[in-house]
Amino acid sequence: MNLREVVEGEKQVDHEEFLSELKEKNQELNFMREITQESNTGELNGIPFIAKDAICTEDTTTSAGSQILENYQPVFDATVIERLKESGASFYGKTQQDEFGFGTFSTNCAFGTPKNPHDKERVVGGSSGGAGAVVAAMDKPLISLGESTGGSITNPAAYNGVVGITPTYGRVSRYGLVDYANSLDKIGVLARTVYGTAKGLEIIAGEDENDQTTSSKEVPNYSENLDETEGRVAVPKQYLELDGVEEGVMENFQDSIDELKQRGFEVEEVDMPLLSADIAVPAYYVLAMSEASTNLAKMSGMRYGMEKDPEDFEDFNEYFSEVRSEGFGEEAKRRILLGTYTRQAGYRDQYYIKAAKVRTKIINQYKEVFEEFDAVISPSMPNIAPKIEEAEDMSPSEIYAMDTLTVGPNLAGMPMISVPNGKSEGMPTGLHIVGDHFNEQKILDIAYTYTGGDSQ
Amino acid sequence: MSEEETDVMIGLETHIQLDTETKLFCGCPNEEAEEPNTHVCPTCLGHPGSKPRLNKKVLEHAVKTSQALQCDVNEEVFFSRKTYFYPDLSKDYQITQYEVPVAEDGEVEIKVGDEKKDIGITRLHIEEDPAKTRHKGGDIGNSDYTLVDYNRSGTPLLEIVTEPDFTSPKEARAYLQQLAQMLEYLEIYYPESNFALKSDANISIDGGQRVEVKNITGTAGIEKALSYEISRQKQLKKRGREVSQQTRSYNQNQEITEKLREKETEEDYGYIFDPDLTTQELDEEFREKLRAEIPELPHEKFKRFKEEYGLKDKLVEALVSVPEMADDFERLAEEFDTNLAASWMVGELKKVLNYNEVSYDEVNVESGAPDFLYVGLRVVLSHLEAGEFNQRKAEKYLRDFVEQGLDPEKEFSIDDPKADNIDLGLNLKDYKKSGDDEITEFVKEAIDENPDAVEDYNSGDEEAVNFLVGQVMSISQGKADPKTAREKILEELE
Ligand SMILES: [Zn+2]
């Protein structure tokens, strides 16, 4: 049974069965932060949906993977949650994630590390790891909401062998998203099929008066417009020359290129110097950490989340320090410190302002390429999901380097989709298709064509 | 030695709380609430996932004020985050403008006594007010605990920063008074409202270290705070001690400044662009529309009144100080002697208003008729000019009129202010001088009823006339003019 069959009314979801399978799989893989059941009726006919823990859900725990927000229950639903509920989708809970989205493997979760459904010894990817794993683990139609700042939807989609779409920045409201880096955060959809991501996206996308950065551009009916297509795709030379891309991943990517050519696409190499590892990645981290350090300031034990007995402290500075020292994980502290440094007077121009300029240049470089091409393609991740202990042994700089393929399009706010393109060592790999701003339909069509249309 | 002889440099950063319907970044009502923490929502409480959305009205106020201060308005403005930890700050960062404020490089002319002076405006920007803290059992240093009320969190503020152009507390006060008056003309600020005007001042003497005095409320406070601070610094110098770079606060109760912290380095707020708020375009069309809405400003009105009506400076100043009063004056000046109208408005009416502790605008609003005072003044002035009111009665009429207010049941309109039938709830007859014929009647009555007094007069007792005058006054219930009465009595007795 796939999602289209449920939407079109041919089949129905058995909610009891879904819930028991969800609980059972979660026992084994720990991808859920909290399981709940809330039924709705409407166009989506009770299709189950699940959300990353950073997306606010009224009265259901929203901790963003952090101890400092353990047991925090928001007083409102995020706009995306509200829209899915109104469409008739049924809410089943929240998924594990790296604390505040800080991570590549979902090994920085305050509430346990989720395991990959393809191999329990391996990671699910990050930071929307739980959101990817639940789709792979459940043999049922499901819309899973993820969030990407630098690649957090693409990454778990590839590691779990599912489809994940990250929309254009401003296409989907961020109202109710526990912020990581507001100028980069995008809520997107993970599902088993291209159709599933298209359906989910068309429901959550569109202008929202509660988020000024949302676009007023009309939202196409992505799922109904899905069409076999052809055109021209570009492969950045910098990605082909990238260090550390595993052989199996590169082979699958070459196969994908052949497959696309067979289906009528022209594939060409292009030069995109700003996507090289030493430019895009530092610019991304400077901006993301600068914004994150201001967002996390509000986590001080004053109004919600972790609290202490004020009697035990000399003054509010001491109180805030204690709550933050205990509540934040190691990676969060690292990013707060670095982010505070990069926006400090004296360093600001050198780091924060410079990174913002690099970002503008990267956008311009993409724009030039999109004058000639319909999409830019690459492997989704340079490797297959590593083993959990391998991931935990990596240094922060090794981990940051793994984001090279995804941070470029994320910095530019471009829409992108990751689709499974085979396996390596028994683990799934992904093909990354990046499109021009607000051109989600095009990348969905290419992904649809690549995966064989309606057969998926 | 007077203050002006010392090399004093003062710059002001003034925050004006704007009386908008909703807060700066959310839909909460921007007004006092009976209970703490009632006018709040996820956004002004800084809940995770909440987002600010700009109240565009504030942008209009800011641009109008900038234009009135002759600033250059920037075409594209955006907001920044100023990060610092303090319990009253809901997000632990404040949304403000840093790189590009609404406007820069303005100028305003102030008048202190007969002297005029130009004060440079460095910048004008928009920011949000934090919440209110209440320290229980003391001040922040020694209280038992602190309560936070977020009703104020997110109230819109305009911050106006001047160049260090003031050389005396008097100048600073004059500037604030004139600024407040200008804002009132722009319908942005109302002195009667609960919305405050607060300043931080930077003061240095003889090119010494700069001391910042924070949180000075109002226009009277600024003169006291600055005078204290200047004499404190002078005393230190006199005794050969150094004035250190400090941040101080103004203690309004004791009228002194107190040290908050020694300022070795500038605080580092780590400003970044606020990525939740989009860039705002203040294009030519928008600016033009607002420029057209700017009324004649107080200093312009002052100049015109002087030229057009030839009144004394003091009278014009007083008239111009209340925009509504200035407008009413102009209407009255079309019908009546300008000096008479002005002196009644600035003199007698002001006395009555002060006595009742109400303002010109308030009386009009409370009466339910926007022209209430204008009509009352027309009645007074027309009867005075016609010689039908004497000074004392006219004053009484004005007082009764203001204090009694309007009867809401009655129609409120007049075409002819002198018509006896206009009904403002007061009986005009009670205030008018009595007519000659009427007095003759009273005189006859007094003479008829007091034959003894007539006899006394005839026997040479001239004092008896005074008694008869008293009787006329009593019969007429005080309406008769005593001088006329005496003349008539003498005529009758001859
Ligand atoms: Zn609010």
- Which of B37, B47, B142, B147 has the most A C-beta neighbours within 10 Å, making it the best mutation to test the interface with A? B47
Q: With a cut of 70, say whether residue B346 has pLDDT above it.
A: yes
Q: With a cut of 90, say whether residue A234 has pLDDT above it.
A: yes
- Which of B385, B412, B430 is the last residue in one of the domains? B430
Percent of chain B with pLDDT over 90: 55
Q: With a cut of 70, say whether residue B214 has pLDDT above it.
A: yes
Residue B420 has what pLDDT? 52
Task: Please report where in the chains the tokens 């009502």 appear, as a residue.
Answer: B29
- Domain contains B104: yes
Residue A41 has what pLDDT? 85
Q: Compute the average pLDDT of residues B184-195.
A: 80
Distance B30 CA to ligand 1 centre (A): 9
Q: Which residue would you say has higher pLDDT here, B430 or A123?
A: A123
Find the helix or strand (DSSP H, E) in which A37 lies. strand A32-38
- Domain contains B1: no
Q: What is the pTM of this model?
A: 0.88
- Which of B50, B79, B274 has the most A C-beta neighbours within 10 Å, making it the best mutation to test the interface with A? B50
Q: Compute the average pLDDT of residues B200-225.
A: 91
Least confident of A37-51, B138-152, B402-416: B402-416
CB B133 within 8 A of CB B147: yes
Test B85 with A182 for CB contact under 8 angstroms: no
- Domain contains B463: yes
- Domain contains B24: yes
- Domain contains B402: yes
One domain for residues B259 and B220: yes
Test A75 with B91 for CB contact under 8 angstroms: no
| Closest residue to B276, CB basis, from A64, A182, A300 | A182
- Domain contains B16: yes
Distance B128 CA to ligand 1 centre (A): 12
Task: Please report where in the chains the tokens 């996308």 appear, as a residue.
Answer: A205
Measured in angstroms, the CA of A176 and the nearest CA of chain B are apart by 4
Residue of A nearest to B48 (CA): A178
Measured in angstroms, the CA of A211 and the nearest CA of chain B are apart by 6
> Nearest 5°: CA angle at A150, between A148 and A155?
70
Distance B91 CA to ligand 1 centre (A): 13
One domain for residues B189 and B103: yes
Test B266 with A302 for CB contact under 8 angstroms: no
Q: With a cut of 50, say whether residue B45 has pLDDT above it.
A: yes
Distance B403 CA to ligand 1 centre (A): 40
Percent of chain A with pLDDT over 70: 99
Please give the full DSSP string across B420-482, using - where no structure is assigned.
Answer: TT--SSS-GGGTSPPPHHHHHHHHHHHHHH-HHHHHHHHTT-THHHHHHHHHHHHHTTT-S-H
What domains, with CATH codes, occur in chain A? 1-455 (3.90.1300.10)
Contacting residues of B for A299, CB less than 8 Å apart = 48
Measured in angstroms, the CA of A30 and the nearest CA of chain B are apart by 25
- Which of B286, B317, B347 is the last residue in one of the domains? B286
Q: What is the dihedral of CA A293, A297, A300, A302, to 10 degrees?
A: -160
Checking ipTM against 0.85, whether it exceeds it is: yes
Residue A20 has what pLDDT? 96
Residue B1 has what pLDDT? 41
Q: Compute the average pLDDT of residues A156-177.
A: 98
Q: Assess B54–A contact: CB distance below 8 Å, yes or no.
A: yes
One domain for residues B261 and B343: no
| Closest residue to A212, CB basis, from B47, B91, B276 | B276
DSSP at A349 = I
As for how many domains chain B has, the answer is 3
pLDDT tens digit string along B355-392?
988 889 888 888 877 788 998 898 889 888 887 787 77
| Closest residue to B53, CB basis, from A210, A303, A352 | A210
Residues 16-55 of chain A with CB under 8 A from chain B are: 55
pLDDT tens digit string along A255-311?
999 999 999 999 999 999 999 989 999 999 999 999 999 999 999 999 999 999 988
- Which of B415, B430, B445 is the last residue in one of the domains? B430
| Closest residue to B87, CB basis, from A64, A210, A302 | A302
| Closest residue to A297, CB basis, from B45, B83, B273 | B83
Residue B2 has what pLDDT? 46
One domain for residues B151 and B281: yes
> Any residues with CB less than 8 A from the CB of B53 and at least 6 apart, and which?
A209, A210, A211, A212, B25, B26, B43, B277
Measured in angstroms, the CA of B375 and the nearest CA of chain A are apart by 48
Q: Assess B42–A contact: CB distance below 8 Å, yes or no.
A: yes
One domain for residues B302 and B273: no
- Domain contains B73: yes
Give the C-alpha distances (Å, rounded to integers) separating B32 from B26, B135, B152, B193: 16, 19, 8, 11
One domain for residues B191 and B254: yes
One domain for residues B138 and B207: yes
Q: Assess A57–B contact: CB distance below 8 Å, yes or no.
A: no
**A185: helix, coil or strand?**
coil
- Burial zone of B450 (CB within 10 Å; 0-12 exposed, 13-18 middle, 19+ buried): middle
One domain for residues B307 and B276: no
Find the helix or strand (DSSP H, E) in which B119 lies. strand B115-128
Q: Assess B266–A contact: CB distance below 8 Å, yes or no.
A: yes
Please report, for the domain that includes residue B446, its CATH number. 1.10.10.410
C-alpha to C-alpha distance for A296 and A99, rounded to whole angstroms: 11
Measured in angstroms, the CA of A449 and the nearest CA of chain B are apart by 36
Q: Assess A302–B contact: CB distance below 8 Å, yes or no.
A: yes
One domain for residues B172 and B144: yes
Q: With a cut of 60, say whether residue A351 has pLDDT above it.
A: yes
Test A212 with B54 for CB contact under 8 angstroms: yes
Q: Which residue would you say has higher pLDDT here, A381 or B383?
A: A381
State the count of interchain CB pairs (< 8 A) between A and B. Answer: 106
Please give the full DSSP string across B144-208, using - where no structure is assigned.
Answer: SEEEEEGGGTT-EEEEEEE-S-B-SHHHHHHHHHHHHHHHHHTTS--TTSS--EEEEEEEEETT-
Residue of A nearest to B90 (CA): A298
One domain for residues B134 and B54: yes
- Which of A302, A312, A325, A336 has the most B C-beta neighbours within 10 Å, making it the best mutation to test the interface with B? A302
Which structural domain, as residue segments, surrounds residue B456? 436-493
One domain for residues B30 and B121: yes
Split at pLDDT 50, 70, 90, the class of A55 is very high
The pair of three-digit structure tokens given for residue A230, joined into one six-digit string: 């052809």
Q: What are the residue numbers of the active site of A?
A: 52, 127, 152
Per-chain mean pLDDT for chain B: 88
Q: Assess A332–B contact: CB distance below 8 Å, yes or no.
A: no
Per-chain mean pLDDT for chain A: 96
Q: Assess B92–A contact: CB distance below 8 Å, yes or no.
A: yes
One domain for residues B272 and B316: no
- Domain contains B2: no
C-alpha to C-alpha distance for A158 and A173, rounded to whole angstroms: 25
